[in-house]
Amino acid sequence: MIVLHILLLILEIIGIILLCVLALIILACFIPVGVTAEYSRDGVLVLVHAGPVKIQLLPKKEKPETGKPKKEKKPKKEKKKTEEKPDEAPQKKKGGMIPMFRELLGLAIEAQASLRNKLRIKELILHLTVGGFGEDPAKPAILYGRAWAALGNLMPLLMQAFRIEKRSVGADIDFTAEENTIYAKATLIITIGAILRMGIWYGIRGLIIYFKHNKKGGKKHGTSSQ
């Protein structure tokens, strides 16, 4: 009997602990955190930040290689010193291919609808660049006007789908580029629970879109499209 009472007491303690852990997990799902998503020529960058803590979700950070001799580190340091001078001034990031952005944006709008307007964008940056290298100057000018028209049509849809507090939208012409690109960056507030929901379903679909457009030859066919 004493052994049975001890076992029941142990099971009761374990049950209380499990309930407390479950309650903490449920409460954590309602905690709002910041997420920064950036789309550029380098690909998709997703950071989750809560106060001073930042976690990079995409792309995954490469693990440092081990077992290399220490002597090989010297040329790397020397290379950094020589490259620091031209990069002293911050450079504007170049945009990525437009077709991939279209699909990712459509997926984000679909995810927002499923979350019932739980996404709040603190700041949105959207910049479209028209490539004009080797073209008749009149053609890039026409595309430039169309770019502003496209942004003018897109913003009402985004304002309807998301709660955007601050935005910076624009377009320009780059006569050194042959392709049309788009750069986008959004900082939004979302709960941990919503992140988990989006990561399971929409995150996987987003990765499928990303890898589809980055197949061999994908960049060449995608970047020139509008």
- Give the pLDDT score at 123: 92
pLDDT value of residue 50:
78
Residue 93 DSSP symbol: P
Judge whether 7 and 61 are in contact, CB under 8 Å.
no
Question: CB within 8 A of 122, min separation 6: which ones?
Answer: 34, 165, 166, 187, 188, 189
pLDDT at 217 over 60: no
pLDDT value of position 163: 86
Find the range with the poorest average confidence among 18-32, 35-49, 64-78, 144-158: 64-78
CA-to-CA distance for 205 and 186, rounded, in angstroms? 19
Which pLDDT value is given to residue 136? 77
Start-end of H helices in 178-217? 192-213
Q: Which tokens hold the place of 49?
A: 């930040």
Q: How many CB atoms lie within 10 A of CB 176?
A: 7
pLDDT in tens, 142-166: 888 999 999 999 899 888 888 889 9
d(CA 40, CA 30): 31
- Under the banding of pLDDT at 50, 70 and 90, the label for residue 118 is low
pLDDT the model gives residue 222:
41
Provide the residue ranges of all domains of the chain, joining segments of one domain with +: 32-59+93-223
Residue whose entry in the numeric block shows the structure tokens 């509008």: 226
Q: What is the pLDDT of residue 183?
A: 94
pLDDT tens-digit series, residues 71-99: 555 554 444 444 434 344 345 677 887 88
